[in-house]
Structure 1
Amino acid sequence: MENQINNSKMQVRLPLFLALALISGILLGATMFGGGANMKKVISGYEKIREILTYVERDYVDTVNTEDLIDYSIDKMLEKLDPHTAYIPAKKVALANTQLEGGFDGIGIEFNIFKDTIYVVTPLSGGPSEAVGLQSGDKIVEVDGKNVAGIGIDNLGVFKLLRGPKGTKVTLGIKRRNAEKLISFTIIRDKIPSYSVDASYMIDDKTGYIKVSRFAENTYKEFREAMLKLNGKGMQRLILDLRGNPGGYMDRAINMADEMIPGNPKIVYTDGKGYRYDSEAKAYITGLFEKGALIVLIDEGSASASEIVAGAIQDNDRGLIVGRRSFGKGLVQAPISLTDGSELRLTISRYYTPSGRSIQKPYSPQDANKDYDKDLLERYKKGEFFNADSIKQNEKLKYKTAKGRTVYGGGGIMPDVFIPLDTTINLSYLNELYNENIIREFSLNYYNDNKANLSKMTASAYIANFEVDEALLSQVLKMADKAKIKYDEKRYQSAKRYIQQHIKAWIARSVWGTDEFYTIWNQQDEIYEKALQLFEKAAALERGEF
């Protein structure tokens, strides 16, 4: 007698999987090869998948999670496309979108998980956690009466516990330094803004600095506000820092570039299958900084939308690109919401800089793009981070900027001025201090213990006069010894000035915010320091002299 198949999660999710296969077939196969015959293959293929999954659920000897099998099958299917087409299960969509949202409903803290404990790095200014009295350095050990310490919680778990609709309540059990008992706080969730312009300040009376960490929902708005602020302070030249910026929304990058490029030259264009996803963007507004020496900082962590901005600035000879070769992501994804709340991020086109170059680095779907993920490590091994001569450009991918300079495609944006990593500095001791959370913990403790005195200081006085002296360093070394970090005089001396600088910067962040943090943090940054010496070259480029 034939077995009966009950209506299960597999039956519910299988149509979704088949629909995804159909979407992929239509967009990636049928259109390219002409419809009819290929569509029959697509339909036959997902009928085969349906049969296999049905037999597995009904007849397989052991109990299996068919939902996990479907997710795994989707991932493996997409591996045969490109490195950036991705499937995001429904339970992870909210977390994946967090970095690009302009805000969220929650309690308003920046947190860190260390040794299986949730630490409050800082309560966000004006947020509900600050209002009830949460402090930097507090440990969250209970949420609504349930223990959350030592249970292996991850970022997703924290988000699920602390985020929620505006107006709802959550009660936290807090372990505070020097307090014997847990302190209970009931917090009413509220709308929490999320910022992507990390810092904007004047370096001197004519030089502005803006740090953009990603291209999120509100990035362009934040960027304009930062530019207006700096213009109001007399900015005549600008450093735009896109290092470590992984990208985000393409239109925000286009709008940002338009604020700095005069006239109406091309900023970027895309080329997809057929004409549906082809587009071209040109400058068209009177921007806030169309005149004045401009330097854009990039490195191997600058990708996608960051490379659109850097490529547009470079190809239009608007500014000087300084740093190291960027990541090399020249593919555009469209988010496609699926019926169960999951999401397909499908590559729909390639983008090209104004000169016509694609900066997408090579990838190989045949081996599931395994070498792609190792690219940055290979760059390091080949010495590319230390010597520009280690970078081999493809002479077949040579292009010209608007004023005739030579640039190359095929693997990221190569800076106009290459700044290598400093091989003379050994920061292994500093890294170990960070691994044990000692730098952050010491800085938070110092801030909490000296809050009254620090609040009386101006930021400028602190930056000019505050020193992490030997007495403070001895406390750091005691914490390191307690954490069983082996002391080595040579390693310590090599890292000492960076330990002092980082502690000073983290304390400033707790007192004043990210502008003051980066003002201090950048003081020993080799790319930043070199950029300050290159403004005459940037000005000459703007004049057409190079």
Structure 2
Amino acid sequence: MAVGFKTQPVLSSEPVPRNSRRRVQQPLLLAVVLACGVLLGANPFRPSSQNPDGTARGYLKFKEILSYVDRDYVDSVDAEALSDYAIGRMLERLDPHSVFIPAKQQQQASAFLQSDFDGVGVEFNIFRDTVTVVAPLSGGPAEQSGLQPGDRILAINNERVSGKQLTTEQVFGKLRGPRGSKVLLQLLRRGQAKPLNVMLTRNRIPNNSVDVAYLLDAQTGYIKISRFASGTYDEFKQVLGDLRRQGMTSLVLDLRGNPGGYLDRATKLADEFIGGTRKIVYTDGKGDQYDTQTYSRVLGEFEEGPLVVLVDEGSASAAEVVAGALQDHDRALVVGRRTFGKGLVQQPIALNDGSELRLTIARYYTPSGRSIQKSYSQGLAAYEQDLQNRLRHGELFHADSIHFADSLRYQTVHGRTVYGGGGIMPDLFVPRDSSAYSAYYTRLQSHNLVREYAINYFQSHRTELEALRPEQFLSTFRISDGQLQELAEIAARDGMPANPTHLRRCANLLRNQLKAYIARSAYGKPTYYAVLKEQDAELKHALQAVADGSANPMQKLSMK
């Protein structure tokens, strides 16, 4: 995990939950989605109402009750905290994505969508109550001060953090700070008997949302975008141009796990692929104040050529806008699994005390008229269980488990059938690897044992790993049966006994993840992703689609 929400894809950053009561219950993916999908613009709200009498009565009633509680309740109360709680519960009655962010959490929530942040520039994880460096960020204070993967942070500004069961949020709070301020870290490094004291000066750190961009082969580019943040479009334009200059003629755009973000960044990115003046997305709100239609308007850099968009159940909001627009215009082949289904537009409204209301003001629709938003008529609890229900019902593994009513049938520009009713259904369904859902594999991940084993392996074999070029590592390095058995023995000591069947079922996935995590520490993100490609079923289907011509639906249709 990186300070200030700079994340590597296999780690997740937690935005502000709707209220503390739901922090533990809320799935991490949904929590991220709740913080994203915002419409950027000036605050048009004024203290007015379509029903001023009803608003006034409700306000006076709440004020009266809160005053009585504050004055007469048997115990002392925090009136402001009670008010925040009541607001959160009120918004739950509206929809799953209208959210109130208290002032003390607003900065954290906003950081997720910013293009940079003030910090020390280090990705970290927490292994057995110890904050451990995964990688210092290139050019940041941590790298310049010599921090290394595997360094264990014992104390921050003389306050002990090791063994204290701190949350990631709490560590963020201790490491972040204004540019130019200093922070003292006490580190324990493998091979050194005594802790090291390192003084770092916080600086501005890029918070990139384009995780990686490189050529998969001589002509096929790959770009992974983690979210649509303030700098996403500029980052994308730069890497797209770089790939074009390297000879790219086809592209795989990876939006898996992308929870959304700023709508205008997403539509500008889609415009790079769609020629002419064509509708990308429209929104429909109360009256016409928030009704918008967004069209392609610039000469894009990749308006022709095979294009595949990878999506999954973690792709939401602005990511769904991009996938839906490219699918409706037959510009790309969408590969993966049905997306999350968040099609509500939030307007951020700054409140006087520094808190923020993100209020749903409209719904997204794809060019063909499909609503992206899935139903929330059964209430918030049922809505939050949707992804678990998809897993339980087999939707993540079998395309024929997904059923659409005829009323949800729509047509693309060239007559292909697509479906609405919640999320974007891919053109080519790719099931999840069932071994990822075994109880044994899930417990290994939840206990962080795979990442911990990888970082310890890197530390023990650093010299020999650094003697290899990344290309040599990719072609020659293997995780042996003995190393898998060693991981299983560590897990057994941690209360997870395994039998050969458990280990055999997820062995290939574990080999790939261990190799990737070791590559991340030794060589950086490009090699990390190159390793993951070896077991990436969706990416393999994408490359096959490029090879057989189905990655260009418009061209394929014209040939019929």
Q: TM over 0.5: same fold?
A: yes
Q: How far 1:447 sits from its partner (Å)?
A: 2.3
1:341 and 2:354 aligned: yes
What is the letter of the counterpart of residue 352 of structure 2? T
Q: CA deviation at 1:358?
A: 0.9
Aligned residue for 2:290? 277
Deviates more, 1:531-540 or 1:70-79: 531-540
Q: Percent identity?
A: 47
Secondary structure of the equivalent of 1:371? helix
Pick closer, same or farther for the CA change 1:249–1:464 going to 2, 3 Å. Answer: same
- Matches of 1:56 and 1:306 in 2, distance apart? 45
Mapped to 1, the partners of 2:104 and 2:165 lie a distance apart of: 18
SS in structure 1 of the partner of residue 385 of structure 2: helix
Q: Is the 8 A contact 1:83 1:369 kept in 2?
A: yes
The worse-fitting range, judged by mean Cα deviation, of 450-459 and 137-146 is: 450-459
1:257 corresponds to 2:270? yes
Residues 202 and 209 of structure 1 are in contact (CA less than 8 Å); yes or no, is this contact kept in structure 2?
Answer: yes
Q: Which amino acid aligns with 2:490?
A: M
Number of residue pairs the alignment of both structures matches: 514
User: Which range moved further: 352-361 or 150-159?
Assistant: 150-159
SS at match of 1:544: helix
Structure 1 residue 28, shift from structure 2 partner: 12
Q: Which residue of the partner structure matches residue 46 of structure 1? A: 59
- 1:407 maps to 2:418: yes
Instruction: Identify the residue that residue 246 of structure 1 maps to in structure 2.
Output: 259
TM-score (ref. length: structure 1): 0.90
504-513 vs 210-219, greater mean Cα deviation? 504-513
User: Is the Cα contact below 8 Å between 2:330 and 2:553 reproduced in 1?
Assistant: no
Matched, 1:511 2:522: yes
Question: Does the 8 Å CA contact 2:157/2:183 hold for their aligned counterparts?
Answer: yes
Asked whether 1:166 is paired with 2:179, we answer yes
Q: Determine the C-alpha separation between the residues in 2 that align with 1:429 and 1:333.
A: 39
Aligned AA for 2:80? E
Shift of 1:58: 1.1
- 2:407 and 2:437 mapped to 1: Cα distance? 39
Q: CA deviation at 1:484?
A: 3.8
* Aligned partner of residue 506 in structure 2, secondary structure: helix
Establish whether residue 62 from structure 1 lines up as the match of residue 75 from structure 2: yes
CA–CA distance in structure 1, aligned partners of residues 481 and 206 of structure 2: 39
Question: Is the partner of 1:532 in helix, strand or coil?
Answer: helix
Deviation at 1:477, TM superposition (A): 4.0
Whether 1:328 and 2:372 are equivalent positions in the alignment is no
* CA deviation after TM superposition for structure 1 residue 472, in Å: 3.8
Aligned mates of 2:510, 2:282 — CA distance in 1: 45
Q: 1:543 to 1:286 in 2, by over 3 A?
A: farther
CA RMSD of aligned residues (A): 2.1
For residues 229 and 333 of structure 1, the distance between their equivalents in structure 2, rounded to whole angstroms, comes to 34
1:426 touches 1:491 (CA, 8 Å); kept in 2?
no
Q: Distance in 2 between matches of 1:245 and 1:285?
A: 25
Contact 1:300 1:326 in 2 (8 A): yes
> Could you tell which deviates more after superposition, 246-255 or 383-392?
383-392
Note the C-alpha offset of 1:424: 6.7
- The superposition leaves residues 324-364 of structure 1 with CA deviations (integer Å, 9 ceiling, x where unpaired) of 11111111001111111111001111111111111111112
For structure 1, the residue ranges without an aligned partner over 5 or more in a row are 1-25
Determine the structure 1 residue equivalent to 2:198: 185
Tell me the residue number matched to 1:456.
Answer: 467
1:143-200, Cα deviation, whole Å (9 max, x unpaired): 1111122333222211221111111111111122333332211111110111111111
Aligned-pair distance for 1:104? 0.7
Residue 436 of structure 1 corresponds to which residue in structure 2? 447
> What SS class does the counterpart of residue 89 from structure 2 fall into?
helix
Determine the structure 1 residue equivalent to 2:240. 227
Residues 45 and 349 in structure 2, CA contact (< 8 A), matched pair in contact too: no
- 1:426–1:495: 8 Å Cα contact kept in structure 2? no
Q: Aligned pair 1:311/2:331, yes or no?
A: no
Relative contact order higher in (CA < 8 Å, ≥ 6 apart):
2
Residues 195 and 504 of structure 1: CA distance in aligned 2, closer, same or farther (over 3 Å): same
The yes-or-no answer on 1:145 pairing with 2:158 is yes
Alpha-carbon offset, residue 117 of structure 1: 2.4
Determine the C-alpha separation between the residues in 2 that align with 1:342 and 1:525: 41
Per the normalisation by structure 2, the TM-score is 0.87
1:113 aligns with 2:126: yes
The equivalent residue for 1:208 is 221
Return the offset for 1:73.
0.7
